Amino acid sequence: QVQLVESGGGLVQPGGSLRLSCVASVNILSINPMGWYRQAPGKQRELVAAISSGGSTNYANAVKGRFTISRDIAKNTMHLQMNSLKPGDTAVYYCNAVTITARGTANAYWGQGTQVTVSS
């Protein structure tokens, strides 16, 4: 069982920045991958960015060049630095973790979500 706790959401003006954090209850090197998703009202949840246990990253096209995913292994924490925020980035952001059991079963875990609102 993996518990994920997000923080860092809030209200920011267009062009501003926010940094989201997700603390995992396990060693994050056992998580592959770990990522951020978001869900806007009336829309499906979508992948924003992900990082593998080896450190490889991938981003949604909509956030490339503006968002950066990173991790602090010693603190079992993943971050999402969001710059040049746009109103279209407004959503609830969720931390996600996938683990693989010894039998090869994949288990997905979700945080409670943190609201990001970009508005003037």
pLDDT in tens, 60-94: 999 999 999 999 999 999 999 999 999 999 999 99
Mean pLDDT of the chain: 96
Residue 83: predicted pLDDT: 98
Residue % of the chain over a pLDDT of 90: 92
Gap between the Cα atoms of 64 and 60, Å rounded: 6
